[in-house]
Structure 1
Amino acid sequence: MTSIPGASIPILSVPNLRDIGGYRTRDGASIRFGRYYRSTDLSKITVDDAPRLADLGLVTVFDLRTHSEREAAPDRVPPSAREVPLDVLADKALRSVPAQMQSVMSDPSVAVSMLGDNRAIEYFLGSYRDFVTLPSAIASYRTLFTDLAARDTLPALVHCTTGKDRTGWATASLLLLLGVDEDDVFDEYLLTNTQLLPAFESVFDKFTAAGGDPELLKQVLGVRPEYLHAALAEMRASFGSIEGYFADGLGIGAEGQQAIRDHLLQG
């Protein structure tokens, strides 16, 4: 097991898989390794890779995808794990980007019509604000963090489709609650660009060969600091602080917040 915070766990059919253990908090504690993992969906895991994922000893897999995403690509969950489906975007009026991701990645004309002229950036900025205040997002993250405050939930893995946006907010808000410095939270968030984008090399090559601009795909398949900044600004405007978001937004008070810290921190 790695002892480097944010190090990739090399299971090729589950890219963007990493453990958040090892990050230090402002009061000198550190996050336990082997307790909370994040990744892409588990639909493509191979027969050879499945035992390696099972070796993580997962108890719970939180799936933040939409119903249609789950139907199109069902998870292959380790036998030890309970799967918890949480549709973060159920109440979002425009969910066409996740639903049409395959078309966006394979057809530059679709990508341009849907996401050109900075519409991709605007879409994700809006989505990150929605992660904080959209009713289905509040309900989903409430369940996620309430479960993390309970016993016998860990080790847990949290994922969406590419493990970067819905999962990114789940992880960033958790790290902030645990007391990790915001600079480290952004560093962890931006690791997706080095750990996920290489897995899409063939997609970028085909998109470029078909006349597409790879920078447009990066806006969709990668992460940008301004996306997370948008969620944090919405969180502070609506709830004042990360503790306020958990208490007043998610309904998880001081006792539940402390339980999460107790389960994930050491030292």
Structure 2
Amino acid sequence: MAVMSPDVNTPATVASPGAPSPVGSLVNLRDLGGWTGSDGRAVRTGMLFRSADFRPLTDDDAPAYQALGVRTVYDFRSAGERESAPDPTFDGASNVGLDVLADSSMAVPANLAEFFSDPALVAKAGEQLSGGKAVEAITSTYRDLVTLPSARASYRQFFAGLASGANPSLFHCTAGKDRTGWAAAAFLTLLGVSHDDVLTDYLLTNERLVPSLQPIFDKFAAAGGDPAVLLPVFGVREEFLAASFDEVGNVHGSIEQYFADGLGINADTQATLRATFLA
């Protein structure tokens, strides 16, 4: 899908923090603007968007996406995910591939494409997901998002790009909830957004994405699987995000030190991010 980009000098706005997606077929897309950050300043709207991948985007909804004015798309998916479902190209916008979980062979988020494409296959692996195993695996992945070398390298390039690159920007993975969820949470926390608001943004995936996936739950049940097993796979939980923040605290002590020591984003660049994205 190659289409013309809109005038990037007219950024999109949202009615309130966490407002519903302005692109009907991309239900888990949202603007990260509007939340209150450092010194009472608001996170700018129309500057940074989080999303799932673009597979559901319809031709009819392409103009609504164009209206966001996105100039850079950061794709956190694996090479295999990107190959099986490439991002569309938009004139005037660049795509940056960042394989966050390249160093992890067992991460559930990096294998979500299998769940989307053929839930029947997953039913055969129900034993691997039941009995709390899925929750345990995903919680472990959230700790990896903080310390895994590929995650650090990817998020370093992402945040450095936001500080010096072409905005508005959008970042996504497959479902837009784990690799994307941590990036959003870390970004908002660095900007001084309260933990309660960060958590609110994170948990919106349960309201936006999960209901849209009912056909997958139905197919999974028809194949003999227990749909409840898929809830932690397709949804998010407070304990998942808590694992990432716990890892930050244990390894780095603070979000600022995570950016500085873990990602190589020094204090000056952190200040640039705040100046760029806070009104």
Partners of 2:204 and 2:66 in 1: how far apart? 24
**Identity over the aligned pairs, expressed in percent?**
48
Deviation at 1:103, TM superposition (A): 6.4
Equivalent in the alignment of 1:198: 211
Establish whether residue 77 from structure 1 lines up as the match of residue 89 from structure 2: yes
Equivalent in the alignment of 1:258: 271
- What do the CA deviations read for 1:61-109 (whole angstroms, capped 9, x no partner)? 0000000000011111322211000000111132466333346733453
**TM-score in terms of structure 2 length:** 0.90
Partners of 2:231 and 2:22 in 1: how far apart? 22
Please, which of 158, 162, 182 is the counterpart of residue 175 of structure 2?
A: 162
**TM-score in terms of structure 1 length:** 0.94
8 Å contact 2:108–2:137 — kept in the other structure? no
- The alignment partner of 1:46 has SS state of coil
Please, which of 151, 165, 170 is the counterpart of residue 137 of structure 1?
A: 151
Equivalent in the alignment of 1:11: 23
Deviation at 1:46, TM superposition (A): 1.6
- Taking a change above 3 Å as real, the CA distance of residues 129 and 49 of structure 1, as seen in their structure-2 partners, is same
8 Å contact 2:77–2:110 — kept in the other structure? no
Structure 1 unpaired stretches of 5+: none
1:97-112 to 2 correspondences below 5 Å: 98-99=110-111, 100-102=114-116, 105-107=119-121, 109-112=123-126
Deviation at 1:49, TM superposition (A): 1.3
- Tell me which amino acid in the other structure corresponds to 1:146: A
Equivalent in the alignment of 2:137: 123
Output the aligned Cα RMSD: 1.6
Please, which of 64, 87, 90 is the counterpart of residue 102 of structure 2?
A: 90
Structure 2 unpaired stretches of 5+: 1-12
- The alignment partner of 2:24 has SS state of coil
Name the stretch that deviates more: 166-175 or 199-208. Answer: 199-208
Equivalent in the alignment of 2:251: 238
- What do the CA deviations read for 1:120-159 (whole angstroms, capped 9, x no partner)? 1011111100000000000000000001111x42100010
Give the number of equivalent residue pairs. 265
8 Å contact 2:50–2:172 — kept in the other structure? yes
Partners of 2:22 and 2:211 in 1: how far apart? 13
Please, which of 2, 25, 28 is the counterpart of residue 37 of structure 2?
A: 25
Partners of 1:196 and 1:79 in 2: how far apart? 28
Deviation at 1:224, TM superposition (A): 0.4
Deviation at 1:237, TM superposition (A): 0.6
Name the stretch that deviates more: 76-85 or 175-184. Answer: 76-85
Deviation at 1:26, TM superposition (A): 4.7
8 Å contact 1:125–1:227 — kept in the other structure? yes
- The alignment partner of 1:120 has SS state of helix
Deviation at 1:208, TM superposition (A): 2.6
